[in-house]
Structure 1
Amino acid sequence: MPHLAAFPKAFMQALCKDGTMRVSEWIELAVRLDIDGLEWYAGFLEMADESNWPRFRRQVEDHGKVIPMMCCSPDFTHPDAGFREKEIAKQKRWIDMTHALGGSYCRVLSGQRRPELSIEEGVRLAADCIEACLPYARERGITLIIENHYKDDFWEYPEFAQKMDVFCRLVDRVRDPNFGVNYDPSNTYLAGEDPLELLRRVSDRVVTMHASDRYLKEGTIEDLRREESGSAGYVKRLSHGEIGKGLNDYDAIFTELKRVGFDGWISIEDGVDGMDQLERSVAFLRRKMAHYWP
């Protein structure tokens, strides 16, 4: 049966930018939930001090939870080779961070979709950088997971591999037992595409999942499909919502994951409207997981 984790979606500004929340405070909030683990973020301000890494691991494990997944955002599609080497070095440090926290999965991304970048060149650059990190990850027992992502908060351009066809080309290019997919159904809507179609194309490579949901603030799903202004338009039309009450069909998602034998981590990206909302999302997912993996 899969395991359930939570990510501090509502507290990223406080944990990563202004420091108004301490990581220990997030831990104490999260461990009250009916979850098995806490997904980590490499950009928590306090993670800059490596002496904090074992302390946070102990605090989580003292509550009977674990830190299975690390969320980070390398930019592997920059045209400058020196820049890419620095991103590889950062990714290796994040792998070390994951290992120190007791985790098994560390996210990678493709990089930014720079206007001058061709599809073939972008896939090659991203694949080469991911493959450069894989031996380092393998030595530490870490699986690198690529997410069908939208855009890092600090990037100028959206994700290079945001669109389904590009994402699948990149996933197909990197064939390694220590590399898999972190599937996020909501991000597919941001690309104007069908999350179930993407899942069917990559389900045999999915090792972790982000559980989230989106709802339309205005218009219809057909309006979303007709958008021509790019990803920025999708973001304005879509908003995060409580899991089970948005656009995602979790029965169809879990049916497909069960079919391929998925038993990895499902991490909740929710709670932007408070811990009560996050608790309801946990309860929804627990019911669904118990149904599909009794």
Structure 2
Amino acid sequence: MSCLPVSFFGDLSRETMSLKQWAQMAADAGLDGIDLSVMLLKNHTPVYLKQIRQEIESTGMPVIMMATYPDCSHPDPLQRQRELEFLRHDIALSSYLGAKYLRIVAGQAHPETPTAEGIQWVIDAFKQASLVAEKFAVQLVYENHSKPGAWEYADFSQATEIFTAIAEGIQETGIGLNFDTANPQVYGDDPLSLLERCIDQIVTIHVADTAEAGKLVPVPSVIGEGLVPLPDIFRRLKQQHFDGWLCIEEASRTGAEGVRKAVQCVRQTWNAV
């Protein structure tokens, strides 16, 4: 079990909390590893990255998943090429930090992007990126996101039909899926229905929760206290013999206590079903 510290993104970005402190908090909470966003790294110079890697390693916590935000659905072909180059760099960066997985997303729902063409642009970009990921031994996992702070628009593949079309288009690559338990609920969709449609491709799980449905982004909730039917989702995953990483997306804004509660809830729920 690992955790992406969304609740602490502000503190980590402002450097009022260090990545080492986050890793130590995760260790104290009983996690097996940590997740990071590329947005949390202030630069990509060799000296800085070596320092970050050593500081995290000193806590004994491995980096399990990195999260990045490629905009492969951008209507400008030159910008799409830039985004692919950014993604290639993030794959190498993830490899350097020892991450097993790199969470990728389709891109933004630009008003100028036609649906059919956008789907194909994303599939083409992912196929190219998968070759780089194989070389660096990093597993790419694709998620239908909501609206990260790095973007102007919501995720291009929020709609289930777009997400499943892209997922189908990358079946022959080494790319798996990162199933976010809250995102379908956020979109006003049924998470169990979507889970069933893509379960054979799932490699990792983002365990997340939301206090309200039908919103553009999840409404902060302590894991297990929101609307997401975690017991039902976990039960179906166990029926499928899922044995991958449960990566908590902790965004309750309740500090270290929120992380501790999330770890306890996920562990107890998984063991109970």
Q: Show the counterpart of 2:200.
A: 204
Counterpart code for 1:15: L
Q: Show the counterpart of 1:28.
A: 24
- Return 5+ residue gaps in structure 2 as ranges: none
1:88-146 Cα shifts (integer Å, max 9, x gaps)? 11111111111111112112111111122221111001111111111110011111111
Confirm or deny that 1:7 pairs with 2:4.
yes
Distance 1:178 1:47, change over 3 A: farther
Is residue 29–residue 263 contact of structure 2 (8 Å, CA) maintained in 1? Answer: yes
Counterpart code for 2:158: Q
Q: Show the counterpart of 1:268.
A: 248
Q: Show the counterpart of 2:190.
A: 194
TM-score, length basis structure 2:
0.93
Q: 1:248 aligns with which of 216, 223, 228?
A: 228
Q: 1:133 aligns with which of 129, 132, 154?
A: 129
Q: Show the counterpart of 1:39.
A: 35
Work out the CA distance in 2 between the residues paired with 1:209 and 1:47.
28
Work out the CA distance in 2 between the residues paired with 1:61 and 1:259.
35
TM-score, length basis structure 1:
0.87
1:13-62 Cα shifts (integer Å, max 9, x gaps)? 2223x333322222232221111000011111434333333433333333
Confirm or deny that 1:78 pairs with 2:74.
yes
Is residue 211–residue 268 contact of structure 1 (8 Å, CA) maintained in 2? Answer: yes
Distance 1:45 1:105, change over 3 A: closer
State the shift of 1:158 in Å: 0.7
Is residue 36–residue 65 contact of structure 1 (8 Å, CA) maintained in 2? Answer: yes
Work out the CA distance in 2 between the residues paired with 1:267 and 1:166.
24
State the shift of 1:284 in Å: 1.0
Work out the CA distance in 2 between the residues paired with 1:151 and 1:50.
31
Counterpart code for 2:265: F
Work out the CA distance in 2 between the residues paired with 1:164 and 1:47.
35
Work out the CA distance in 2 between the residues paired with 1:273 and 1:107.
24
Counterpart code for 1:249: P
Q: Show the counterpart of 1:282.
A: 263
- Return 5+ residue gaps in structure 1 as ranges: 225-233
Aligned residues: 272
Is residue 95–residue 142 contact of structure 1 (8 Å, CA) maintained in 2? Answer: yes
Write the mapping of 1:80-229 to structure 2, written as runs, cut at 5 A. 80-216=76-212, 224=214
1:217-267 Cα shifts (integer Å, max 9, x gaps)? xxxx6xx4xxxxxxxxx148x622111111111111111111222111111
SS in 1 for 2:142: strand
State the shift of 1:152 in Å: 2.0
Is residue 12–residue 40 contact of structure 2 (8 Å, CA) maintained in 1? Answer: yes
SS in 2 for 1:31: helix
Work out the CA distance in 2 between the residues paired with 1:173 and 1:135.
15
Work out the CA distance in 2 between the residues paired with 1:261 and 1:280.
25
Is residue 19–residue 45 contact of structure 1 (8 Å, CA) maintained in 2? Answer: no
> CA RMSD of the aligned region, Å?
1.8
